Every structure is written in structure tokens, then in C-alpha cells.
Amino acid sequence: MIRLPVAEELNRSVLLRIWNDVPNAAFGLDQTFDAGRKLFAKVEPVYGLAIRAGAQTGEVPTHLFWIRYGTGTRPQDITSSHVFEWQNRRYRVIDAINVGDMQRFTQVSVKDLGAIS
């Protein structure tokens, strides 16, 4: 049985943004981000087995972000071109699922990219 978050657990203010790499004059790439969308989320660190399983694929999730399912927050709306920003850190989206196929919550697996500079 899946334990869904209750309302008071979605208590972290996060920013969901689209990440674009834009060529620059030095023949490199500059990272740009849209203004983003503020959401409330439940944030959980990933431990143990999930990390070991991710190590096999090279994509190791560090956190799970639970957000309400809806327009713009369905799994098909959230891609690897998105990042979450929370507590002055940036997290790249690895995967998103419709939890329990109930259309109530989207659970997003992310990788911590470090502090926002």
C-alpha cells in the first residue's frame, strides 16, 4: 500500500524551472532558466537501496519531490529539461510518476546538482 502525503506534509516552497543551454560567444554554453513556477512539495532524501539501484544506471536520485498532480505538474509535463530549486540548491529531474495511478500526486526523482551560484 502506498502512503500518500497529507496536506500539511506539502510544506516546502520549491521552484520548478525549465533549464536551457544557450551557445555563447566563447563557443561554450550558458545555462538559462525560465521564471519558473512556485509549488508546495514534500521533499524526501533517498537512502540505501534506491541509491544502489540508481548506481547501476548511472543516474543516482538523491531526493524525491512530491507535488500535487495537475495542469503543468503531471508526469508527462515534467521532463529532464526541468530543475527544482529548494533551499538555495538545484535538483535535476530524473523521472516523474503518477503515484498509484490516482492522479493525486506526482512524485519526481531528482539529483542534487549543488548550490545555486
Q: Which residues contact 29 (CB under 8 A, 6 or more apart)?
A: 21, 22, 23
Q: 32-84 pLDDT, tens per residue?
A: 999 999 999 999 999 865 555 555 556 789 999 999 999 999 999 999 999 99
Q: Kindly list the domain boundaries of the chain, sorted by start residue.
A: 8-115
Q: Of 51, 47, 45, 21, which is closest to residue 33 (Cα–Cα)?
A: 21
Q: Which range, of 14-18, 23-27, 96-100, averages the lowest pLDDT?
A: 23-27
CA distance 91 to 44: 13
Beta bridge partner(s), residue 16: 37, 84
Grid cell for residue 11: 510544506
Give every CB contact of residue 88 below 8 A, 6+ residues apart in sequence: 115, 116
pLDDT beyond 60 at 105: yes
pLDDT tier for residue 7 given thresholds of 50, 70 and 90: confident
Q: 8-115, what's its fold?
A: Thrombin, subunit H (2.40.10)
* Average pLDDT over all residues of the chain: 91
